Amino acid sequence: MRPSLLDPLFSSVAALPGVGPKTAKLFDRLLGQDEARVLDLLFHLPTGVVDNRLSPTIREAPLDAHVVIAARVAEHRIPRKYSNAPLNVLVEDDNGDDVLLVFFRNNFDWVLRALPVGEIRWFSGDLKLWNGHRQIVHPRVLDAAALKALKEREPTYGLTEGLHQRNVAKAIDAALAKLPDAPEWLDATLLRREQWPAFAPAMRTLHSPVSPMDLSPDTLARKRLAYDELLSQQLALRLVRAKMRRLRGRPTTGDGRISGAIEGALPYSLTNAQRAALADIRADLASDKRMLRLLQGDVGSGKTIVALLAMATAVEAGRQAAMMAPTEILARQHFERIEPMARAAGMRAALLTGRDRAAERRATLEGLASGAIDIVVGTHALVQDNVAFRDLSLAIVDEQHRFGVHQRLALGEKGEAVDVLVMTATPIPRTLVLTYFGDMDVSNLTEKPAGRQKIDTRAVPLERIDDVIAGIQRAIAPGARAYWVCPLVAENEELEVAAAQERFEDLQKRFGARVGLVHGQMKGKDKDAAMLAFQRGETQVLVATTVIEVGVDVPEATIIVIEHAERFGLAQLHQLRGRVGRGSQKSSCILLYKGPLGETAKARLSILRESDDGFRLAEEDLRLRGEGEILGTRQSGLPGFKLADLSAHGVLLKLAREDAEAILEQDETLTSERGRALRLLLYIFGRDEAVRLLRAG
């Protein structure tokens, strides 16, 4: 049960004074919650600070800044009836300087009543120059009482349509009043050394900036709260780790006959990194402790073969193994790659997805329950209630950060003491591995198999798109294949699909039926058909959204064009580039960008051109963008940070990790005085459920 002391923080934003049901829905949207809580609002930090001191004259008021001015209403410029033009009000001061106040689609009657000609009023807003004239769009109109009540400096917050700064500031003031006086959960020596304030005063300070410097992640208040968040997360990871160590495993030891046959049939030798990862995995399987291991490798580093050899070890021991992939395309592809090798070595493999025919599905379920099927590859269909195994001992989750925690947990519970291996083709920077996967052991595949060619990567301005299309025309004439990836549109899949559809139609005019289209909103069977046509060479240009980012394997594809490359992160660009260079032909990646490029985008494209090391690129991506975007935490089920910023607070992470270890060594059940206070911390940062669920990775 959550301690009652925290109840005010977990109450709905709708219960705050001045927030009715309609406004509460806007706060839900702003804060990304089904029902926003007071705590969510407190975690919505200011993005800026405005100076509300009155400017002596209009001439002295700074342009492109927030200003407060006093002026006399000189003239109303009312638009013609039925026109969409704004209402303009001209105001001037005693020096004869004037400002045009612009009101779009507003309640014009109210404006005219509030601003009678000849009266002096005070106006607050952003002063800009438009067509050589000073103007303020939708100023706040103040009377003498409102001016007196105005704070000298006010924070500004991120908004959503329908919410204004005043709504958010008023709600946050009400939320701050609900902060409880909680017992201190941090070590007294640490607090004294770092000179950090207590939790509630730190939160109040963050919402009361006086200058832009107060918004820096380096302030004492922000560091204090970032440390709280990091400590809560490291504690949760260690509690999970401790629980995993207490759970008995089942030793699984193979005799090498199946894995030896698979390895002997490979047309290449395993890399040293693959051998080391396999040794780690087999040692985990053979121990009486549960395995929870992360296998991460760059594009084309050979994770699939390591996974197959691990599954072979389970089958050699008379047990079963399952591999779960996030999409049907990826599951099908894994199966097509794995099944022939498995069959040749004497293993029976099956595919299970949500689209199997009833008879196929029934046969697969019977085979898993009876043990007639040794290994199964599938989507989240594997975790449905009616899927039962005779003896599942190894669960492999591919691209695991794309699954919700519940799905990962469910696959691990389909057998007795199941060992779990999670894989990712997006190399994760070391700090993030320790942050998100601190409860796991880690194996890295840092080498690429022999024969992999470097991909020629070029950045080309969008104005030269016709040259790029002409180049594709020359390449596909003798039979080459090309991907054309459409721009990422700010997490709006519908707009992305529209962009892909438009580019598809445009290229179709040039290449006719040789162009295919694949995007996330297509039906599964249509997506598969489009991919299959491309694999067979029936289409030679595949227009796609980022649905092809992970795992799609067409060795004949030698060109990838990434449109509006400046909108993508480094790790994602590298993943997309990895769709080519999989065969013996020379491959190229064209980064089409719209200039002028900002410093970050310029750095990103430059680094990508000079390096194909996914681990280095991931570190650079973290430096340039921050951790949330790399792993796509909003979509992934991973806990995104609200107050901590790893690029600024990386040092605090190490401190929090050491602190969490020391706490649990002395007080494993968090029942001491400090332990009970730390339980409050876990609730505040939503780690209470994580403690139960993180077990699956």
139-180 pLDDT, tens digit each? 989 888 888 888 889 999 998 888 888 889 999 999 999 999
**Burial bucket for residue 306 (CB in 10 Å: 0-12, 13-18, 19+):** buried
Mean of pLDDT values over 300-318:
95
For residue 639, pLDDT over 70 is answered with no
Q: At 523, is the pLDDT very low, low, confident or very high (cuts 50, 70, 90)? A: confident
Q: At 284, is the pLDDT very low, low, confident or very high (cuts 50, 70, 90)? A: very high
Mean of pLDDT values over 654-680:
91
What pLDDT is stored for residue 693 in this prediction? 37
For residue 265, pLDDT over 50 is answered with yes
What pLDDT is stored for residue 144 in this prediction? 86
For residue 242, pLDDT over 60 is answered with yes
What pLDDT is stored for residue 192 in this prediction? 96
Residues 6+ apart with CB under 8 A from 156: 46, 47, 48, 49, 50, 165
CA neighbours closer than 13 Å in the CB half-sphere of residue 524: 12
The answer to whether residues 231 and 190 touch, using CB atoms and an 8 Å cutoff, is: no
Category of 686 on φ-ψ map: left (φ > 0), alpha (ψ -120 to 50) or beta: left
Which residue has better confidence, 635 or 15? 15
The answer to whether residues 454 and 334 touch, using CB atoms and an 8 Å cutoff, is: no
Q: At 406, is the pLDDT very low, low, confident or very high (cuts 50, 70, 90)? A: low
Mean of pLDDT values over 363-377:
97
For residue 214, pLDDT over 60 is answered with yes
- Measured CA to CA, the distance from residue 539 to residue 532 in angstroms comes to 9
Mean of pLDDT values over 470-491:
86
What pLDDT is stored for residue 84 in this prediction? 79
What pLDDT is stored for residue 41 in this prediction? 97
**CA-closest candidate to residue 88, choices 142, 60, 130, 150:** 130
Tokens 């706040």 appear where?
140
For residue 83, pLDDT over 80 is answered with no
What pLDDT is stored for residue 471 in this prediction? 95
Q: How many other CB atoms are there within 10 angstroms of residue 392's CB atom?
A: 24
What pLDDT is stored for residue 312 in this prediction? 98
Mean of pLDDT values over 471-476:
94
> 131-145, 421-435, 493-507, 549-563 — which one is most confidently predicted on average?
131-145
For residue 630, pLDDT over 50 is answered with no
Q: Two tokens at 390? A: 């005779």
Query: Poorest-confidence range of 98-107, 411-420, 445-454?
Result: 445-454
DSSP secondary structure letter of residue 463: G
The answer to whether residues 128 and 92 touch, using CB atoms and an 8 Å cutoff, is: no
Q: At 327, is the pLDDT very low, low, confident or very high (cuts 50, 70, 90)? A: confident
What pLDDT is stored for residue 618 in this prediction? 81
User: 71 pairs with which residues across the strands?
Assistant: 121
> How would you classify the pairing of strands 419-424 and 292-297?
parallel
Tokens 């190490």 appear where?
654
Mean pLDDT of the chain, nearest integer? 88
The answer to whether residues 172 and 156 touch, using CB atoms and an 8 Å cutoff, is: no
For residue 633, pLDDT over 50 is answered with no
pTM above 0.75, yes or no: no
